[in-house]
A and B are shown apart, each in its own frame.
Chain A
Amino acid sequence: MNSITNVSRRGFLQGILSTGAFVISVQLLPESLFAADVPVPSPADKATLHPSVYVGIDPDGTVYIIAHRSEMGTTSRTSVPLVLAEELDADWSRVKVQQAIGDPRYGSQDTDGSHSIREFYGPMREAGATARLMLIRAAAQQWGVPEGECTTEPHTVVHKASGKKAGYGDLVAAAAKQPVPKKEELHFKPKSAWRYVGKGQSSCDLEDICTGKAKFGMDSHLDGMVFASIEHPPVLGGKVKSYDDKAPLQVKGVQKTILIEPFTPPHHFQPLGGIAVIADNTWSAMQGRKKLKPVWDNGPHAVYDSAEYKKELQATARKPCKVARNIGDVDAAFAQGGKILEAEYYLPHLAHASMETPVALANYRDGKVEVWASTQNPQGVQEVISQKLGIPKESVVCHVPLLGGGFGRKSKPDFAAEAAILSKQVGRPVKVVWSREDDIRFDYYHSVSALYLKAALGPNGLPTAWLQRSVFPPIGSTFDANATYGSAGEMQLGWADLPFNIANIRAENGPAVAHVRIGWLRSVANIYHAFAAHSFADECAHAAGRDSVEYLLDLIGPPRIIDVKASAPEYENYGGSPTDYPLDTARLRHVLQVAAEKSGWAQFKPSKGKGVGIAAHRSFLTYVATVVHVEINDQGEIRIPRVDTAVDAGLVVNPEATRNQFEGAAVFGNSLTRFGEITATNGVIDQSNFDSYPVTRMNEAPYKTNVYLVESDAPPAGVGEPGVPPFAPALCNAIFSATGKRIRELPLSKANLAA
């Protein structure tokens, strides 16, 4: 239930707002819960919670808008409040964005899944419109005029007939006494009157970032804090057998060593355990750590060997697996013959490698913890610290500074729990800083995957049947040690929702045991699903002897709404309702055509070493098509002169920030396609820093990525992740166009592209 309540008396925003501030919240909490004024709902209550938003206005006219999502580079900290400012008709220069602490009253704050705008666009508009109407009513009463005659200019209520005007600040005292209007009473601004939505604003942190003033998690500070560097068990689930607790203390600045208990399976968001070195500064802690000489009991995951494991995954993918979606009867269709194509694809684990490593500062005092964490998930921080220290969640206050990148890694707050555990033992604030080696070696990895595809092409070259199997250790293994199959959540990511017009389709998923922590990474299972499906589609086009764009349009088929659930009962559609966010092939066709046209596809003639490739993919409810131009010299070196990406993300609130996301997604895609590979030997991760786990540098990046945003009035969809999935297949299809070499395994650094 969506109730809007005047909560001035609750002191939710104490410390931010001065006395007399007028506070509006759009609460989507159950009414009874709200009435009971429960400060933090139970986990059961939480499951039914919906997002809420807050805005406050001070008598001096300052508008405070709460950013309750984490800022890790998508500009959501600016764009989400901007929606509220629009309907409030606020002057953006008088808005102060305030970062929320972790608190379930805001609904889920886990900033992932590309849904900050999608989920909060409506609530933010309502919150803004509600506040605006109350200000209008306050002014109308003061002036003794009908409210219908009053309008607003930025930050001002206006009565045109009398020429009266009143600033928002002057009206807040009276507005706070107004009853909260019902949703039906609200007026929303017509699109033609929008000042911010669809036009955008620069990040509210832009100048601070460019002057070094911005405070990231890494920059958190408390007087008297000490620094910790932690030696984790090299193999997941390993335990400390012994270590030298004397030698580290000889290092100048080192204060003590502390043993952190291993986790109880499943590992979830728990710390990995290990030995912490506490010191006066980060460097001393890191130096002391080198003297620990730990001896480990590695446990059962020491069997993990990536080369062997690859064979197991591939063997599984060659056999019938669990069905995630079925249309028609692929077996019968294959039995009828036609041109049969088969292909296997393989992609390794990936690490997130945010520029800022995991970092948290915690201060335990009198049974309470205050923590500053680079987290996408402040409520997860509260939860894991509460569990590990045996204190109520309400006793954990989690502040959210800026994140130096996240990409999904920082939804998992194991490192914040480490800081809290250590602070309790040290009796002082402790800042845990992971080294780059810690970050690469102890990630929640993007899953390794093996995929098998088979198609029968009919006389017209189009598939009569399409079988696809994916096998990967699932994210579920992080929460259930016995989980081996992909969840519906993973199957919806580019697998169960294959938007092709084929009479017989079967999507399957096979089991795989996880030996490292598996987590979500920017666009998640879409990465391997899209790579396999769109590489294979290109293989089919080539086998049919047709132009890839024309073939894809036929493969997608006529404009229509696909009811995925009819053939994949567990399909989740990213949580989007099928009415607001149907899978609409017209939109997929359109972005494909726009990308092809803008890239000069029809005019391009592939020649030796020069090629072009395309892929179109819907993810996070956004339709994206990407064309990659590639040049490959005789030495096999790759240059990407140009990328063209067409995007239909519905209504786009902040176009410039959105273009930046899709430019960045091409670079992120370039990293995983060309360089990204995490492997394990005897359970130990082989890579450790940017030398062994390279990511794209400027000289390797696409020289120019052009982003075309399709004008749309459809509800807003995701923009942080959807640019990633089509890039790898588009690049590899371009490589095929340039060299005739079909890439079925990533990263490209393993392929020989030399002439």
Chain B
Amino acid sequence: MIELKVNGVQRSFDGEPAMPLLWYLRDILGLTGTKFGCGMALCGACTVHQNGKAIRSCITTMQRAAGTEIRTIEDLSAHGLQPVQTAWMEVNVPQCGYCQSGQIMQAAALLHEKPHPTDADIDDIMSGNICRCGTYQRIRAAIKTAAGERA
């Protein structure tokens, strides 16, 4: 039995320990805000927070999630929109929106570590998250907007 905390709720899982956290979140808990994009940690659509750090849930097995605290996009705004989400809306970042949960979770983790990221910081941390619609310059602008709000 694997024990973990998801969005503040204690959970136990008795399935295959090799199952990626992504599919546990989506298919078993019904937390579909976290997206499947590639299954190989190449696109970042599945990004969630594990003990506060951004991780790719598509390659994180349940075994490796055991005993940790997982936070998904659904919980990021549980107590009101986060500055990063407000900024995303202000800048009208999304087109199709499918990758944006992952982008927002990645950006939130970035801003937590570096409240005032440089362009190089943003490139460095955000280049693991693909947006096929190509909203990158708005993502960059939204991150800077969110950073300003925190200042």
Complex contact A664–B134 (CB within 8 A): yes
Answer yes or no: B65 CB below 8 A from chain A CBs.
no
Interface size class of B (residues with CB under 8 A): 35 or more
A203 and B88 CA atoms in complex are apart in Å by: 12
Contacts of A696 in B (CB 8 A): 134, 136
Complex contact B95–A698 (CB within 8 A): no
Contacts of B37 in A (CB 8 A): 355-357, 436
In the complex, what's the smallest C-beta–C-beta distance from B37 to chain A, in angstroms?
Answer: 5
Most chain B Cβ neighbours within 10 Å, of A210, A211, A406, A705: A210
Complex contact B137–A73 (CB within 8 A): no
How many residues on A have C-beta within 8 angstroms of the other chain's C-beta atoms? Answer: 69
Complex contact B30–A221 (CB within 8 A): yes
Contact check: which of A210, A281, A705 meets B85 at CB < 8 Å?
A210
Tally of contacts, chain A with chain B, CB under 8 A: 193
Answer yes or no: A162 CB below 8 A from chain B CBs.
no
Q: Which residue of A lies closest to B77 (CB)?
A: A211
Answer yes or no: B74 CB below 8 A from chain A CBs.
yes
In the complex, what's the smallest C-beta–C-beta distance from A231 to chain B, in angstroms?
Answer: 15
If the complex has contacts A283-B27, A663-B137, are A691 and B40 also in contact, measured as CB distance less than 8 A? yes
Binary interface encoding of chain B residues 16-49 relative to chain A, with 1 for a CB under 8 A from any of its CBs, else 0 = 1001100100111011111111111011010000
Answer yes or no: B132 CB below 8 A from chain A CBs.
yes
Answer yes or no: A540 CB below 8 A from chain B CBs.
no
Complex contact B27–A660 (CB within 8 A): no
Complex contact B16–A252 (CB within 8 A): yes
If the complex has contacts A211-B81, A218-B36, A665-B134, are A355 and B23 also in contact, measured as CB distance less than 8 A? no
Binary interface encoding of chain B residues 45-88 relative to chain A, with 1 for a CB under 8 A from any of its CBs, else 0 = 10000000000000000000000000011101100010001001
Contacts of A492 in B (CB 8 A): none
Q: Which residue of B lies closest to A75 (CB)?
A: B95
A435 and B31 CA atoms in complex are apart in Å by: 19
Complex contact A202–B92 (CB within 8 A): yes
In the complex, what's the smallest C-beta–C-beta distance from B59 to chain A, in angstroms?
Answer: 12
Contacts of A656 in B (CB 8 A): 92
In the complex, what's the smallest C-beta–C-beta distance from B70 to chain A, in angstroms?
Answer: 14
Contacts of B135 in A (CB 8 A): 660, 663-664
Most chain B Cβ neighbours within 10 Å, of A252, A406, A663: A663
A721 and B73 CA atoms in complex are apart in Å by: 31
Contacts of A221 in B (CB 8 A): 30, 32
Complex contact B130–A697 (CB within 8 A): yes
A709 and B4 CA atoms in complex are apart in Å by: 51
Q: Write the residues of chain B forming the contact surface with A, with a CB cutoff of 8 angstroms.
A: 15-16, 19-20, 23, 26-28, 30-40, 42-43, 45, 72-74, 76-77, 81, 85, 88-89, 92-101, 104, 122-124, 126-140
Q: Write the residues of chain A forming the contact surface with B, with a CB cutoff of 8 angstroms.
A: 71-75, 202-203, 205-207, 209-216, 218-219, 221, 227, 252-253, 280-284, 286, 353-357, 402-407, 433, 435-436, 656-657, 660-661, 663-668, 670, 689-691, 695-705
- Pairs across A and B, CB under 8 Å, 16 listed: A73-B94, A73-B96, A202-B92, A207-B89, A210-B93, A211-B73, A211-B74, A283-B23, A355-B96, A355-B131, A404-B97, A663-B137, A664-B135, A689-B38, A689-B40, A698-B126
